[in-house]
Structure 1
């Protein structure tokens, strides 16, 4: 996002470096406590610290849970289109990835997912499902009812749901984030301050197991925490503990930027179809009516010098789409959409 780093994070990291305290992290406890207080304040979620584990980043956490719940050769199910590493990373550790299409409205198709669950566990095999909650790239915030239906289907087939909640604090008015483990005691949530406070370079994340999933986090290798940097822990701890006012200032600005993008697309790209994001600073735009092929982002970059995320990177259903980051200044966003329209004209 085109925003300054939150002052509490700047202060915490600056003080650490000034003190020469740049060695190994001693303990994850302060990070867990800061996150737990944030979760209780924002979502009313009472995190059990004994079910929490700090890991190097969200993808490392997702990978650790996959390895604890499925053997190599078994299936990881992903609602698609979705964040690209959901396809790539499980394959790198020997799992089979099975995409299941979202509905036309970009929401979870629970009956189709349950069919995939049944097929994946046939013959005594095991399976897990990677959930993006809120969903990246569509910006959909899954409702409690949708998550409860997913949890019930997963329980019927012994499938473990692993919920990537990277964008959980970035929800626009009218939608409500529900931590997945609040509805599924067998599930796992993975969160971080990275997306919300622009701290992707300070790698750390937290895995929180449901009360019936303790064995999953207990199976994590003891060396997993070794990949977490001390400075990263301090930065993210400061964000969760003291970054609330900064976040409260950010959220209305993101909503204004989202609404501006909706107006700009209607004015300059009348053939485009865009679902208004309920969360995140990302918009999923269907540009297929402009005849630019499966990857309109390539043409837009070449002709308009605007870099968008390629829809094809998000798996089946991403053809003809592009993902737009709208967390920037109004004049930049306006110029970007004008250039996109000119490139597609």
Structure 2
């Protein structure tokens, strides 16, 4: 069976609708990078059927041959309405948006607008590996500001990083991940306001990757960076990609604060040629009509966070894991186990379960691994069983 019955207490959980056999029919990176005996819980793809409004919108477009070039403000209009309903943010101005191919390529284009070759970009490590790859390929310098207690922003470290980055009056940027990948930390309004004030003090421009913005646990609050006092010169990159599993349908939006509007206006026109028209259609449908589906996913993810914590406590108590309210990723501290700097390599070799190596996330990542929670409870249970076997312990 590829689906499970509807729970009488709530809507059908999209994370419980697809069997492992059905998932292995997929040809994306998650399911084709490793052999079939490996359970893949690494890259940020969700094991879900797509939201019905998205499927309908793309199918309708294909039926009428609507496969040309992207045009219009429909995506930005849908994001602005979603932001009003979801986050109570009324400040997303459609006229201060630009269509970009995806969030990371949008970040690259924004960094081109506000920094030059050799300039510094500050990141909070451990952090999403492409932050390093894309910034360095752009011929900018990465300056690390490690996270502090509780995997939250360490403002003393950030102040020092800003001082080094902007030394000599050179332009500098701060690439903030919000919610944070891989830790799942959701920054508070006070923290983001402090970021804005500190950046202003040092003349550092803030660029925020908010691709995980819709993925916060029930009861948690996501705060858009551009909504806090002092953030007027910031820029955000947003997309429906992560929340609705649309990575293969490329489209994202760069959003400028009022003080950054002139910078965004210098975005080369050809950048808007990169997004897929079908991607724009899919993302727009997700934001306009996919809220119920998203809420069902969020409830399922919250259950999965609790399940993983319980399984680790029972079978692998040496692994430190604190369920975080943001993203669908779990950051596992395996340093108490004799697995060296790269526990993911051991779990892959001995347990045939693929996690993402913590060493890829910069300083603070050694001895850690990232696990993708956006799958069924059964596969999370099987993953922990395999990790236990990898350590030579009975699976229980």
TM, length-normalised to structure 2: 0.85
> Residue 187 of structure 2: which of 142, 152, 161 is its match?
142
1:235 maps onto 2:282 in alignment: yes
Contact 1:301 1:308 (8 Å CA) reproduced: yes
Deviations 1:5-64 (A, max 9, x none): 00000001111111111111233x111111111111101112111111111000011111
What SS class does the counterpart of residue 353 from structure 2 fall into? coil
Aligned residue for 1:276? 323
Deviations 1:281-337 (A, max 9, x none): 110001111111111101100111100011011111000000011111111110101
Aligned residues: 344
Question: What 5-or-longer segments of structure 2 have no aligned partner?
Answer: 1-45
Contact 1:138 1:277 (8 Å CA) reproduced: yes
CA distance in 2, matches of 1:305, 1:314: 22
Deviations 1:79-105 (A, max 9, x none): 000000111101101000011110131
Displacement after TM superposition at 1:192 (Å): 0.3
Contact 1:138 1:275 (8 Å CA) reproduced: no
Deviating 4+ runs (over 4 angstroms): none
CA distance in 1, matches of 2:109, 2:87: 26
CA distance in 1, matches of 2:166, 2:316: 44
> Residue 150 of structure 2: which of 83, 98, 105 is its match?
105
Deviations 1:158-194 (A, max 9, x none): 1011110111111013421000011111111111000
What SS class does the counterpart of residue 274 from structure 1 fall into? coil
What SS class does the counterpart of residue 53 from structure 1 fall into? strand
1:288 maps onto 2:335 in alignment: yes
Aligned residue for 2:32? none
Structural mapping, 1:74-223, within 5 Å: 74-183=119-228, 184-223=231-270
1:24 maps onto 2:69 in alignment: yes
Aligned residue for 2:79? 35
1:302 maps onto 2:349 in alignment: yes
TM, length-normalised to structure 1: 0.98
What SS class does the counterpart of residue 283 from structure 2 fall into? helix
CA distance in 2, matches of 1:234, 1:39: 18
1:56 maps onto 2:101 in alignment: yes
Displacement after TM superposition at 1:251 (Å): 1.1
Contact 2:102 2:252 (8 Å CA) reproduced: yes
CA distance in 2, matches of 1:109, 1:74: 22
